[in-house]
Structure 1
Amino acid sequence: MRNIRMLKKAAICTSLFMFSLFANAASDGVVSVASQHDVEQTAERMLNILEQKGMTVFNQVKHSEGAAKVGIELADTQLIIFGNPKVGSPLMKCQQLVALDLPQKALIWQDEQGKVWISYNDPQYLAKRHQVAGCDPVFAKIAGALAGISKAAAN
């Protein structure tokens, strides 16, 4: 009888563990905001907003142009890499591995239907991914800033 109870508990624990793995895999941790502009205009708007907010833009990668150079047709796709050490450094102090996902990135891309999107990593996903503890206010600040910047660039 005791062995049956232990097996049931083990089965329940295994099921819960597998469910949590599936739930994490299903949640991609990406926030996407629809833009009213084409990719080039959206990227330009985002760059201007980042500059106005005092952010550092580290690079702008035009993936579709790179793909064209090797004979691959890719829908218009640009990646903007940006950040602010005043915000990112405290996160790295909480959990240094979060630096794998910093600086921030925004992907501006056109889908198969011609719709343009701004996509970025959900800060709460990064907190969970890197098991960051004690930096909730910083993540909340980043989430608000990314939402505001994306909305302003998209409208």
Structure 2
Amino acid sequence: MKRFIPTLLALLIVTLSACTDDGMVDVKSSFGVEETGDRLEEVLKDKGMTIFDRVMHSEAAKDVGVELRETELIIFGNPKAGSPLMKCQQSVALDLPQKALVWEDSEGITWISYNHPRYLEKRHSISNCDDVLSNIEEALAAIVNEAASD
């Protein structure tokens, strides 16, 4: 446990430093889009999350004649995390289940992007729910960083 806490704090620092003003967290991946998506799905399942869908936006774009860099969306969740958050503020259900975007930028770099839980706190005026938000924040950071790193 003592080794886990410093590792988790380091992951949070890396993730938080990638948080943009619009509430989106962008984490650089060491892998291509498909492998990153596969790794993310595997980590999510290992953590007890349900994968609701994996939307291949770039493939759908190709079907209508639009060229799009590799882009896919993974929709996932867990009632143990989402339900307490919805109890704090029911409107947050609009943004649940969680989503992670795995995408390639113009330089060929793969990223995992997701909404920072504190963005959801602000967007839905959530109050008196710090423990729930902190747990989600830590879990998302750890999951995404595990999927994106060697």
TM-score tier, shorter chain, comes to 0.7 to 0.9
SS in 1 for 2:22: coil
Q: Give the 5 Å matches for 1:43-62.
A: 43-62=37-56
Gapped runs of 5+ residues in structure 1? 1-25
Gapped runs of 5+ residues in structure 2? 1-19
Letter in 1 for 2:76: F
Greater RCO (CA < 8 Å, at least 6 residues apart) = 2
Residue 135 of structure 1: CA displacement?
1.1
Q: Which structure shows the bigger proportion of residues in helix conformation? A: 1
Residue 92 of structure 1: CA displacement?
0.8
User: Counterpart of 1:111?
Assistant: 105
Answering whether residue 29 of structure 2 is matched by residue 31 of structure 1, we say: no
SS in 1 for 2:102: strand
User: Counterpart of 1:70?
Assistant: 64
> Among the aligned pairs, what percent are the same residue?
58
Note the aligned Cα RMSD (angstroms).
0.9
Residue 46 of structure 1: CA displacement?
0.4
Whole-Å Cα distance in 2 between the matches of residues 142 and 59 of structure 1?
20
User: Counterpart of 1:14?
Assistant: none
Larger Rg: 1
Residue 68 of structure 1: CA displacement?
0.3
TM-score, length basis structure 1: 0.82
Aligned length: 130
Answering whether residue 132 of structure 2 is matched by residue 138 of structure 1, we say: yes
Instruction: Find 2:82's aligned residue among 88, 96, 111.
Output: 88
Whole-Å Cα distance in 1 between the matches of residues 105 and 22 of structure 2?
17
Residue 27 of structure 1: CA displacement?
2.0
User: Counterpart of 2:73?
Assistant: 79
Letter in 1 for 2:27: V
Instruction: Find 1:150's aligned residue among 119, 122, 144.
Output: 144
Whole-Å Cα distance in 2 between the matches of residues 97 and 37 of structure 1?
35
SS in 2 for 1:107: strand
SS in 2 for 1:97: helix
TM-score, length basis structure 2: 0.85
